[in-house]
Amino acid sequence: ELKVEQNPLFLSMQEGKNYTIYCNYSTTSDRLYWYRQDPGKSLESLFVLLSNGAVKQEGRLMASLDTKARLSTLHITAAVHDLSATYFCAVDINKGAQKLVFGQGTRLTINP
């Protein structure tokens, strides 16, 4: 059974600081996704990582995928309050059939 583990689960940080969220998974996959969810809202797609070594950047967020280590990272640079949300990684365990397994989520709070 695939396990997707995020670390940390809770993160409180100050504006302007940098930090990284880690996503480890237990089985072979070369498809990994990052989503953002605001309280009471739906999930917003942030990044789609489809191969080993993939790196994507959007604003203050950068995601990478190492399929050999079964590890993805979401790096936050110079955090701002608007980035406060819950971030989920998700792994496709059945390529093409879109059977995503989500990590537990990382609840990020950015304080002024």
Q: Which residues bind another protein (CB under 8 A)?
A: 31, 33, 35, 41-45, 48, 50, 88, 92, 95-105
Of 15 and 82, the one with the shorter C-beta distance to another protein is: 82
Using an 8 Å Cβ cutoff, are 49 and 32 in contact?
Answer: yes
Closest CB 52 distance from another protein, rounded Å: 16
Of 79 and 93, the one with the shorter C-beta distance to another protein is: 93
DSSP 1-51: ---EEEE-SEEEEETT--EEEEEEESS--S-EEEEEE-TTS-EEEEEEE-S
* Calpha distance 53→15 (Å, rounded): 29
Using an 8 Å Cβ cutoff, are 52 and 65 in contact?
Answer: yes
Closest CB 20 distance from another protein, rounded Å: 20
Helix, strand or coil for residue 68? coil
- DSSP 8-state symbol, 78: S
Of 50 and 77, the one with the shorter C-beta distance to another protein is: 50
Closest CB 111 distance from another protein, rounded Å: 20
Closest CB 99 distance from another protein, rounded Å: 6
Of 83 and 93, the one with the shorter C-beta distance to another protein is: 93
